[in-house]
Structures are given as C-alpha cells and as structure tokens.
Chains A and B, each alone.
Chain A
C-alpha cells in the first residue's frame, strides 16, 4: 500500500466514511441513506474504530455507551490517528463479533456529546490468530445456519397450514427443542405421511446434509405460471445455459420450499393487513431472536457462570396477538410444543396420554 502510515494505527481507506448514495432507485432505497459498500467477513472485525469523539474527556462515557452492546475486552485512545480538530479517535475491542456489528450499526452516525460519531471496523488491528478465528467462526455460522434451514423447511412442510404467517414463526422455535440437526441429515422425511400440506398434498422431501435443494426451485417455480414465469423470463440471469435445470432433472425431486411459499401467497394476500404485527411486537420478537441467535451462535451464556454445551434453546414467548383465532392457534401450537418436550425425555412413568389428559399448567385454551 502506498498510503503513508498504513498498517496498524495508520489511516486506512476502509476507515473513510464514504458519501451516501443519493441516486438509488426508489424501490431499493433503505430506511437510512447509505453508501455503496459491500461487507464481507474480511471487513468486519471485533475491533471498532470510533472517530469524531469530542475531546471533552468523555472516554468513560463512550465506553459505557458501547458496552451496552456487549462485553468489551480492550479500549484505548489512538493519539497518533489523524483526527479532526477537537475530536479524538478511540479503538474498542469487543469480545464478540456480533456485539461489534450491533454496536456499529447502532452507534454509527449517532450524536455523542454534540458530535457525530463515525464508527467503522478496524480489522487491521487483529492478530493472525484473531483473523483465523474470525474466518472459522464464519464457517461455523454458515454450517449451522444451513443445517438449521434444512430443519426449518422440513418443519414448514410438516405443520398444517394456518392462515396466519405468524404461526409459522412460532413453529420454527420448537424445532430446536425436539429435533436435532442430525435427524435432518440422516433420515428421510415423508411429510405427506404425517400432515398433508393443503396446497401441495404430495410432498417428497429427502433431506441432504446441508443446503436446501436448489435445482428444484427452478423447476417447480416454472410450474407456477402467473407469478414466476414472467420473472423467470425477464429477471433470471440468462447469460449462460442453465445448469440448474440439468441438475434438477438429475435429482428428480418435486418439492421446493420456495414454491410452497409462492403458492401460499394467493390465499394469504387478502388477509395480510390483518396479520401484520405491530411494530413493537416486531421489535420485541426481533430482540428475542437476536438474543437467542447470539446465544445459539456462541454456545455459552456469558451472563451466567454456568457453561452450556451447545445452543441454548430459546424460550417460547407468549405474545398476545390481539385476535382470538390467532391466540387459539398459538395456544394449540404451544400445547403441541409442550407435549413434544414432555414426551421427549420419557422418564419412568410419564406417558404421552398423561400430558394430553392433564395439559401443562400454563395452557388455558385447547382446540
């Protein structure tokens, strides 16, 4: 690099705050104006560089503010870093990458003691080992996310279709309770034997170890004329001959989770407004998801002294959905979950019938 002072502590190109893009087409404008930038695992880091901190001796407050997003391992002022007049530059090292990501997202462009902070990643401060671990963590995350996705889609096929999309969101949570990733990868599923899916009664789903079948999407997506065909003609990237169709023919399966999703669009279209959650509920669930994702991703609970092996199972949130039918559906699912979690350990005398005749205390409604 020809940039003077490059390397540790020097000014790097990726620290510079790029101008916001103002020429985006309307449909792809986000909520906040953003620059045109691609984030990869290389760019992200546990180290955050904070520029624009007013030189008022506010380091303690700054660190306290950032500590809200996760445990901080180290922090220090970077005196040699070029800074605007009356501002300082700080380096904060988080314990976890996820905390750094959230902190950056929340604190970038935030006002702090009257000055706008500019927060960016500072991967050049990493040691070789830290870089190595970062790459490994990304690898593990993808492996886990992909295997969970297989689980999620398999579960989607199993559960009887309800009119509310929220119910599917609830359904997803218990799969971490009762089903292990190993099951999905080693067994062959035949969902049609359990609950025939109302819109696609015969589904064949033989699972693979990691990713979802991709070729089928293309094949079965083509079979859904009004929605996909147009887009298949116009928007699919056509510069090469389609290898996907070949692979789809090879595999010869008919199921596609995407086509299931597409087919479901038609009936739920009318009721969509009814099922849209309020913003607060959405945020609450998002917060809980982030928490459980964090814990699941990391595998140990940093808050308690207890070491948990493997991901902690998220608790089932009980949210009132302001609608009787939704609440009853949710209760039904909760009942089922409790049944599954009760029958799975299968201790001495506990029978499934017991849990049916004597429902868990918290359940009040049954279908």
Chain B
C-alpha cells in the first residue's frame, strides 16, 4: 500500500505487468492463465498499479473474462474488478465499457466468491448515472434473497446493499414482486 516508490522498481513493475499480460495472451495452459489472472487481480488491489493496469488494458481483460465458461477465471476476474473499481477513472472506464451487465450476470454464478465480488463491485459502481442499472429490479430481488442466505458473508453484503444503495421503495417493490413470480437468479451453491 506504500505510495512511495523507487523508480527502478516502478519500471520493473511495468515490465512485470506487461510480461504477465503477454503470458496470458500467449499461453495455452489454462493453469498458467488462472495464475496470471490471479496475479493481476491481486495487483489490482494496490492503487499504485492502476496507471499501468489501465495502460495495459487489464480492465478490458477482466471484463472479457467475466463471460468465460471457466469458473475460476470468472472468479479471479470479478475479484480484480472489485479491487480496482473504486478508483474514479477505473469506474468511469468500466461504466463506459458497459461493464455493469456482465457483473450483474455474475450474481447467478454458483461460486460464492464470484457472487460476493459481484455484489461489492455493484456497490462500488453505483453512481447517479449508473444507479438505474446497478439497482434494477432483478438485482434488488436477487439481493433480497441473498440477504436471507445462511451464508453470513453473503447476507451481510446483501443487507448493506439493500440498506445503503437501494431506496425503501425499491426494496418494497422487489419484495412484492418476489411474492408473485418465481425468481430466475438462483442462490449460489457450493
């Protein structure tokens, strides 16, 4: 988390990140892809790296991985997004790239980490211009069900989402709706 950098290490870092991205594109080993993606997602935790990650278009990489079949890749990618989406520039970029929709889709993953990262990402991406999308009715409905989950981590996150990011009217509407229809987004099973 240190903000004080030594320049030689800065350059090493950019080179290193470049090498990671190159390996990701070039390798045919799924294992290597997962490792590299996890590595990049962890780098995304530190704001020090954001410029480089943007320069190397790692944000697009994460967004693209959200639609992969491989659950692990999705988990790591949405984790990476969760880590870096608080930064204003990154946030704008993700919204401009229409990144909210694939994140919402992650809510229906059977991987609990994926779901939780998706919930947090939606929270962090909620802004006046994106609120309509991030707190759309199906999403609020989904959060309502999550808030009743036996998984404490998930229910906590869902409750924070409902209490802090949704209006009471939205919650009420979703509650009424769920009484009548069968909801389509399943709870994650693990």
Which of A's residues lie within 8 Å of B, judged by CB?
Answer: 1-3, 6-8, 13-14, 21, 23-25, 27-28, 36-43, 123-128, 131-132, 135, 138-139, 141-143, 145-146, 148-149, 152, 165-166, 168-169, 172-173, 209-212, 214, 217-218, 221, 231, 234-240, 242-244, 257-258, 261-262, 264-265, 268, 272, 275-276, 285-286, 289-290, 293, 297
A36 and B38 contacting across the interface, CB-CB below 8 Å = yes
Closest chain B residue to A44, Cβ basis:
B45
Among B4, B23, B25, point to the contact of A25 (Cβ < 8 A). B23
Closest chain A residue to B80, Cβ basis:
A38
Distance, CA A232 to CA B18, complexed state (A): 9
Among B22, B87, B149, point to the contact of A234 (Cβ < 8 A). B22
Distance, CA A3 to CA B153, complexed state (A): 14
Which of B's residues lie within 8 Å of A, judged by CB?
Answer: 1-8, 10-11, 14-16, 18-23, 25, 31-32, 34-36, 38-39, 41-42, 45, 47-48, 50-52, 54-58, 60-61, 64, 75-76, 79-80, 82-83, 86-90, 93, 96-97, 112-113, 116-117, 120, 123-124, 149-153, 156-157, 159-160, 163-164, 188-190
The 5 closest A-B pairs by CB, nearest first: A211-B89, A237-B57, A235-B22, A38-B79, A142-B86
Q: Which residues of A contact B2 (CB under 8 A)?
A: 286, 289-290, 293
A124 and B7 contacting across the interface, CB-CB below 8 Å = no
Given contacts A124-B152, A139-B86, A165-B7, contact A258 B51 (CB under 8 A): yes
Given contacts A40-B79, A211-B90, contact A128 B4 (CB under 8 A): no
A1 and B112 contacting across the interface, CB-CB below 8 Å = yes
Shortest C-beta distance, A334 to chain B (Å), equals 16
Q: Which residues of B contact A237 (CB under 8 A)?
A: 21, 25, 56-58, 60-61
Distance, CA A306 to CA B151, complexed state (A): 41
Distance, CA A88 to CA B45, complexed state (A): 32
B19 and A293 contacting across the interface, CB-CB below 8 Å = no
Q: Which residues of A contact B20 (CB under 8 A)?
A: 28
Shortest C-beta distance, A6 to chain B (Å), equals 6
Distance, CA A163 to CA B20, complexed state (A): 30
Shortest C-beta distance, A126 to chain B (Å), equals 6
B117 and A37 contacting across the interface, CB-CB below 8 Å = no
Distance, CA A297 to CA B58, complexed state (A): 27
B151 and A1 contacting across the interface, CB-CB below 8 Å = yes
Distance, CA A173 to CA B45, complexed state (A): 23
Residue contacts A-B, CB under 8 angstroms, 15 given: A37-B38, A38-B113, A124-B153, A131-B160, A142-B47, A145-B48, A211-B50, A211-B88, A214-B89, A217-B55, A231-B15, A235-B56, A285-B4, A290-B2, A293-B3
Q: Which residues of A contact B19 (CB under 8 A)?
A: 27-28, 235
Q: Which residues of A contact B16 (CB under 8 A)?
A: 27-28
Among B32, B48, B79, B112, point to the contact of A13 (Cβ < 8 A). B112
Among A41, A145, A265, point to the contact of B83 (Cβ < 8 A). A41
Given contacts A169-B5, A264-B7, contact A132 B164 (CB under 8 A): yes
Distance, CA A27 to CA B32, complexed state (A): 12
Distance, CA A166 to CA B60, complexed state (A): 34
B153 and A142 contacting across the interface, CB-CB below 8 Å = no
Among A1, A21, A168, point to the contact of B35 (Cβ < 8 A). A21
Shortest C-beta distance, A173 to chain B (Å), equals 7
Q: Which residues of B contact A290 (CB under 8 A)?
A: 2
Among B8, B61, B83, point to the contact of A272 (Cβ < 8 A). B8
Among B11, B36, B61, B83, point to the contact of A28 (Cβ < 8 A). B36
Shortest C-beta distance, B7 to chain A (Å), equals 4
